[in-house]
Amino acid sequence: MKRILASFLLLIIGFALGVVASTLWIRNKRVSPPPLQTDTNRAAELPILAYCELATNRDKYNGQLVRVGTRLIGFIHGIEFYDANCPGDTQAAVVFDPQHTNEIEQVLKQARGSDKWFEPVDIIAVGRFNKVTPSGESDAITSTASLRFEIVRVEKASKVR
């Protein structure tokens, strides 16, 4: 009887160790997205693209670090890029890189001359452009737009006249 209990206990311990080892192995094998490259030297070498170029060639620029010159507008549902000359569904939700949010907000506030985040600003920005599947969870632009741009740095910003 003792022999059966000892064997059963060893079996349970072996099974538990196997589960723990498998879990750790799987967790370490997950593929994480590439880090957002914010190398100032590399960004300065990138051409400044018109937003319409990004939006109409979304497959070409998907996932890439780019420099873009466009108009940034805010409204009740969020912040987006805007180009009146760009045809079709070109709405892009704009978000700020969490590590640089304060810096970006300060540059935009200074360009606007106020705290009114919904006032349009012409900008040249560096960031990551992505195609996304809208979640439709809310009316927020981050839930409805099929494009997303994460701003890492604003190189230039000026109030729209």
Give residue 39's pLDDT. Answer: 55
pLDDT in tens, 146-160: 999 999 999 999 998
Give residue 32's pLDDT. Answer: 43
Cβ atoms of residues 147 and 131 within 8 Å: yes
| pTM listed for this prediction | 0.73
- Those residues of the chain that have pLDDT short of 70 are 19-41
Give residue 37's pLDDT. Answer: 46
Radius of gyration of the chain measured on its C-alpha atoms: 24
**Whole-Å CA distances, 101 to 49, 55, 76:** 22, 24, 19
Residue 57 to residue 28: CA distance in whole angstroms: 35
List the one residue out of 39, 64, 85, 69 whose CA is nearest residue 147. 64
Residue 142 phi, psi (nearest 5):
-70, -15
Give residue 25's pLDDT. Answer: 62
